[in-house]
Every structure is written in structure tokens, then in C-alpha cells.
Amino acid sequence: MEQKEMFGNFSDAKPTVSQFQDMKYLDLVIKETLRLYPSVPVLGRRLPEDMEYDGHLLPKGMNILLSTFAMHRCKEYFPEPLKFIPERFEDAKLTNPYVYTPFSAGPRNCIGQKFAILEVKSTLSKILRNFELMPATPVHELQLAPQTILVSKNGIRISIKERS
């Protein structure tokens, strides 16, 4: 709907950066997609100093892994965590800014984050202006394989219909 309001029936429209910034609902959809399916499901870090966690001393220099995949599905931070609800990011004020980290966080976050989001918006905008995307029938259940990046072992299937 957002695309139609912005471009009408002009599937070959060339959006401006300003128009991409105005695609608020597409922003929400991208955030929710990255919450459920972060491209990097695990982040590795080395502790810069000693730290106590849950009564255990973790020494400086220790390598730790943080599961963004699990954290993004934690019901303490995301009610109904397995449901796709883009609106959860509308005016969202997360209680902890580090619970949603599809591009990492802090001094080692992804420097290409804004560029990546702009690329996704550009690509999705073009696709959505020309095609209608629907769930595959029968329903296709993803078999996720968390490797260095998150992949589906059995592909990703959707139904596509050209817009007239």
C-alpha cells in the first residue's frame, strides 16, 4: 500500500533518497524480518576486562558468543516472539538497546548498516511495485541452519504474481 501511495501505477519510478526515508512501513517490515532472521545469528567478542555474570567470573580476554538469533526471539523483550509483527517497532522504545542487534552494536557494529538497509529498501521497493508476493502454497516451513550466516537448508519459497 505504501508503494502504491508513493508511486501510483508507475512501476518504473525511480525513488529518491527522501522517498526511501519516507517508506516507514517498509522500515518496520525490514526490522521485523531482521529480528526473526538475522543474517549473522551469532556474534563473537573478546572481553576487554574481567566481568562477573550470574555468579561466575569471566576473565579479561575470554572469547564469548552472543546469539542474536535467540535474543531476538526472547519473549521478555519481544512479546509473541515467533509472530511476524512489524508494528512492534512502531515508536518502539526497547527497554535495552542491545536486545535488537541485527548489525551488532557498540563500537564494533556494522559500518555498512545504513547502506545495507538502503539497498534492501531499493530492491524490495522495485520488486513490490512490479510483483505481488504471497506465501507459498502449501505452506513452506523453513529449515534454518545457523552457520556463519543464517541460511535455509530447504530454500525459501514464495508465490509471485506480476502486477497488471
Residue 73 lies in a domain: yes
Residue 62 lies in a domain: yes
Q: By three-state DSSP, how is residue 45 classified?
A: strand
Res 11 pLDDT > 70:
no
The answer to whether residue 157 sits within a structural domain is no
Range of the domain at 24: 2-132
Residue 98 inside a domain? The answer is yes
110 labeled part of a ligand binding site: yes
- Asked whether residue 161 is assigned to any structural domain, the reply reads no
* Alpha-carbon distances, residue 99 vs 39, 66, 74, 127 (angstroms): 15, 11, 9, 30
Mean pLDDT across the chain: 89
| Closest by Cα among 60, 94, 89 to 77 | 94
pLDDT of residue 21: 87
Which pLDDT tens digit goes with each residue over 112-121?
999 999 999 9
Cell numbers 512479546: residue? 79
In a domain, 70, yes or no: yes
In a domain, 91, yes or no: yes
CATH number at residue 100: 1.10.630.10
Q: In this structure, is residue 68 part of a structural domain?
A: yes
Distance between terminal CA atoms of the chain? Answer: 15
Domain count, the chain: 1
pLDDT interval class at 29 (50, 70, 90): very high
